[in-house]
């Protein structure tokens, strides 16, 4: 089985998130994409984060189709960091080819994540282009550090099952929705 792991706060979930998940699912020929709704992103303010149940419900609204699964696995595992979640899931499901999925906005700050180099060593990573940040993300510390392990768009479907570190930058049509903009509009 080829499974994408798509983690995030989803605060709130929106069509841009669905676009990232569906782009990765199609281009990597994944069987499933699991949306891992974070109990609390350590890099974001708890005060500005909606309750987990609300974010889970929002993610279920936009994660459409049988291949999209919304999960609170990080809460159930007691995992605060992506690296711990990935290791736990790999240990529980040794026959699954996992790929970490992120938007280009996450790649731009990936070097701030705990264990980011270990994440790259644990699973292949798919980065999906996002508006206004794609160029900056491709010159980010993580992109520069792992430049020699980047695969071409033509090799993207081979990413699941590839020996890490391997990553791909998936380009294509952009979706302009953002959680930050949605929260700003809600605050007015």
Q: What is the rounded distance in angstroms from the CA atom of residue 9 to the CA atom of residue 41?
A: 6
- The angle that helices 52-62 and 15-28 make with each other, rounded to 10 degrees, is 60
Q: pLDDT for 100-150, tens place per residue?
A: 999 999 999 999 999 999 999 999 999 999 776 667 788 899 999 999 999
pTM of the model: 0.89
Fold classified for 2-187: Rossmann fold (3.40.50)
pLDDT confidence of residue 179: 42
DSSP secondary structure code for residue 8 in this structure: E
Give the other-Cβ count within 10 Å of 51's Cβ.
8
Mean pLDDT of the chain: 90
> Do 20 and 125 form a contact (C-beta atoms < 8 A)?
no
Bridge-partner residues for 93, per DSSP? none
Q: pLDDT for 152-179, tens place per residue?
A: 999 999 999 999 999 999 987 654 545 4
Assign 3-class secondary structure to 139-178. CCHHHHHCHHHECCHHHHHHCCCCCCCCEEEECCCCCCCC
> Do 97 and 3 form a contact (C-beta atoms < 8 A)?
yes
Q: pLDDT for 6-31, tens place per residue?
A: 999 999 999 999 999 999 999 999 99
Q: 66 vs 8, 33, 121, 183, CA distance in Å?
A: 20, 10, 29, 28
């Amino acid at each position: 089985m080829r499974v994408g792991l798509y983690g995030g706060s989803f605060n709130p979930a929106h069509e841009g998130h669905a676009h990232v998940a569906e782009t990765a699912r199609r281009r990597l020929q994944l069987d499933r994409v699991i949306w891992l709704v974070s109990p609390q992103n350590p890099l974001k303010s708890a005060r500005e984060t909606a309750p987990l149940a609300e974010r889970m419900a929002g993610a279920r609204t936009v994660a459409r189709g049988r291949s999209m699964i919304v999960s609170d696995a990080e809460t159930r595992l007691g995992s605060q960091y992506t690296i711990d979640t990935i290791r736990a899931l790999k240990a529980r499901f040794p026959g699954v080819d996992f790929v970490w999925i992120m938007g280009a906005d996450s790649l731009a700050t990936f070097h701030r994540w705990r264990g980011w180099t270990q994440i790259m060593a644990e699973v292949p990573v798919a980065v999906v282009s996002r508006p206004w940040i794609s160029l900056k993300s491709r010159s980010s510390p993580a992109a520069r550090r792992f430049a020699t392990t980047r695969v071409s768009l033509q090799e993207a479907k081979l990413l699941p099952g590839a020996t890490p570190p391997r990553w791909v930058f998936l380009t294509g049509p952009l979706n302009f929705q953002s959680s930050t903009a949605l929260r700003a509009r809600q605050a007015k």
